[in-house]
Amino acid sequence: NAASYTAFTVSGTCSESGRTVSLSGAITASATCTGGNTWSTSLDLSAVADGAFTINANHSDASGNAATQSTRGFNKDIVAPT
């Protein structure tokens, strides 16, 4: 339904509070690492075509050391069955 693809929540863990987590792939967005070493953001996937897509998450610590990129695959299917 429309609510599922216009407010799709993604989240994860991060290493350092206050750092920016950059999201790429089918969308481009960012989130901030919180004090609990987690991040979360809501994405609008309405412009993403039906089918398989990926979202990548990247961040680095204050010293510039990059974390290992995390990639997750999803499948968007908004066509009603016939």
Mind listing the pLDDT tens digit for each residue in 12-58?
Answer: 999 889 999 999 999 999 999 998 899 999 999 988 988 999 999 99
Kindly indicate the confidence band of residue 2, based on its pLDDT and cuts at 50, 70 and 90. low
- In the DSSP assignment, the letter for residue 47 is T
Which run of H or E residues covers position 4?
Answer: helix 2-6
Q: How confident is the model at residue 3 (pLDDT cuts 50, 70, 90)?
A: low
Instruction: Read off the pTM.
Output: 0.83
Selection from 27, 26, 34 nearest residue 59 by Cα:
34
Q: How many CA atoms lie within 13 A of 41 on its CB side?
A: 20
User: Environment class of residue 52 by beta-carbon count within 10 Å: exposed (0-12), middle (13-18) or buried (19+)?
Assistant: exposed
Confidence of residue 7 (pLDDT cuts 50, 70, 90): confident
Burial class (CB in 10 A: 0-12, 13-18, 19+), 57: buried
pLDDT at 30: 96
